Amino acid sequence: MEKNDKVQSAANQQPNCMNDQTQWTGSQQPYGMNGQAQPSDGQQPYGTQPNGANGYNGYNNSPQGNAAMNGSYPTGGKPPKKKHHVVLIVVIVICILLAVSCMAQSVKSDKSGKENSAASAESSQSVEASSSEPSEQASDESSSIVENSAPAVESSQEPSKESSETSEAAQTKDEYHVGDVADANGLKITYVASGTYTEDNEFMQPKEGNKYIFLKFAFENTSKSDEFISASDFDAYADGYAVENRYLGDDDLSATLSAGRKTEGTVTFEVPENASDIEVEYEVNFITEKKIKFIYDGEKDSGFVLEKDTTATDNAYSVGDTVDLNGLKMTYVSCEPYTSDNEFIQPKDGYHFERLTLDCENDSDKDQSISVLLFACYADGVAVDQSYSFDDDLDGTVSPGHKIAGTVTFEVPDDATTVEVEYTNNVWTSDHVVFKVK
């Protein structure tokens, strides 16, 4: 009778979640993760392995060990959910990935083998062709060898020459001296000269124990987009210490160059008189912080002269023409030499002012802005300075249906042959409008 009671008790019991370790009695339902009925007081914790007549006493003390994990469950009970199918799927996926990887490696190896075989075949054919020249006489054979070997030598030298040129183009110097030429992302930079700079203004003299030095550069824009050149992009170090940049003289380096245009000018620094090692760095790209190093060579001049280009731009606008710039109608009213009454605003020797008058109408449905900073002037392909010290400079914002008029003024060489003014219609696309001055 006692044995039957134990069997009946085992039949009524239901297994719980694998993570729960509490025994239930009688007709209680499994509990655990699903928040079902909890065990009553006095029940003992158990593991995952039933032990038949001895009840549950923790899986470590179970007489049958881990049999439940092998598929043994109480009579009338339901087995816990298994994850065998999940493991099986993972194994299958891994096998598939390994198979695909092996196939890809095999294809790659086959392709490489074919390429190597083809290369070997071509090499063998070349050797056979070069070594199978028939000859009838000894002298003819000798001359034939010379004649046939000449093209082979020439052919072998051409790749060597190209690779040499490519190598030279790829090489970048650690430092540049007077007379050297550097390529900086579409800018051809020629280090023209260096020396001591003398300032005439008594109120702008260097501090005691210091002196001014200058470095002269020529820039050519070899790219297809606009490039902005400024003396502020240069930094100098005297014996390893940073020194100050001084903006002195009339030929300081500052210009916006469109494709194919050029400029030249100087950068000036104040350095200790006894400085022995002076380096000047030009920042090519402020994002990547790429820089080119120039060495101050004292009083030295390369003799370089910037080549001028007198070619006029096709379809340049003349006085009286009107151009529509995305709803901003710009009329070229006049262009004439200008004489300033201000003694402090005078052109350099050999130069004169040229002034353009423009009338603009906003024919769009939104505000339009215009500024003298968007204008640049080139005399024989070389950038010239703009003067901004006039009351009627063309600068402002125009609302729809309204107009604005003003002038832009440039300092132009007296002997210039071709003078043009460019207006940048779109700074992102380097779209320009060209006005003919001379």
* CA–CA separation, 309 and 48 (whole Å): 93
Alpha-carbon dihedral 416, 422, 427, 429, rounded to 10 degrees = -100
Which residue has 């107009």 as its token pair? 403
**138-174 b/e (C-beta count within 10 Å ≥ 16 → b):** eeeeeeeeeeeeeeeeeeeeeeeeeeeeeeeeeeeee
Q: Whose CA is closest to 378, among 437, 292, 298?
A: 437
Residue 51 pLDDT grade (very low, low, confident, very high; cuts 50, 70, 90): very low
Mean local confidence (pLDDT), 326-331: 93
Residue type, 278: I
Residues recorded for the chain: 438
207 has pLDDT over 80? yes
How far apart, in Å, are the Cα atoms of 244 and each of 87, 237, 397? 70, 9, 37
Per-residue confidence at 87, pLDDT binned at 50, 70, 90?
A: low
Q: What pLDDT was estimated at residue 104?
A: 54
Among the residue ranges 170-174, 175-179, 316-320, the one predicted with the least confidence is 170-174
User: Which of 183-203 are b and which e, b meaning 16 or more Cβ less than 10 Å from the residue's Cβ?
Assistant: ebeebebbbbbbbebeeeeee
Where residue 249 falls (left for φ over 0; alpha for ψ -120 to 50; beta otherwise) is left
Q: How confident is the model at residue 89 (pLDDT cuts 50, 70, 90)?
A: confident
- State the Cα–Cα distance between residues 384 and 375, nearest whole angstrom: 11
pLDDT digits (tens, 9 = 90+) for 379-396: 999 999 998 877 889 999
Report how far residue 235's alpha carbon sits from residue 281's, in angstroms, rounded to the nearest whole number.
5
Q: What is the pLDDT of residue 184?
A: 87
Measured distance CA(380)–CA(112) in Å, rounded: 57
Across all residues in the chain, what is the average pLDDT?
74
Residues in Cβ contact with 326 at an 8 Å cutoff, skipping those fewer than 6 apart: 364, 425
Q: How far apart are CA 409 and CA 413, in angstroms?
A: 13
- pLDDT of residue 326 exceeding 80: yes
The reported pLDDT for the residue numbered 1 is 43
Question: Is the pLDDT score of 29 beyond 50?
Answer: no
SS3 348: coil
Q: What is the pLDDT of residue 426?
A: 83
- Residue 74 is predicted with a pLDDT of 44
Residue 7: its pLDDT value, please?
40
What mean pLDDT is predicted for residues 345-361? 94
Tokens of 208: 């005691």
Could you give the 3-state DSSP secondary structure of residue 54?
Answer: helix
Flag whether pLDDT at 323 surpasses 50: yes
**Of 189, 242, 193, which is closest to residue 214 (Cα–Cα)?**
193
Are 46 and 54 in contact by the 8 Å Cβ rule? The answer is no
Task: Specify the pLDDT at position 102.
Answer: 59
Q: In angstroms, rounded to a whole number, what is the distance separating the alpha carbons of residues 91 and 81?
A: 19
CA distance 282 to 190: 12
pLDDT on residue 168: 43
Q: Please, which residues bridge with residue 338 across strands?
A: 353
Q: Which of 190, 421, 224 is nearest to 307 (CA)?
A: 190
Q: What integer pLDDT is reported at residue 114 of this predicted model? A: 45
Report how far apart, in Å, the C-alpha atoms of 173 and of each of 39, 72, 178, 190, 295 are: 83, 79, 13, 14, 12
Higher per-residue pLDDT: 33 or 217: 217
Per-residue DSSP letter, 231: G
For the stretch 119-135, pLDDT in tens is 444 444 443 444 444 44
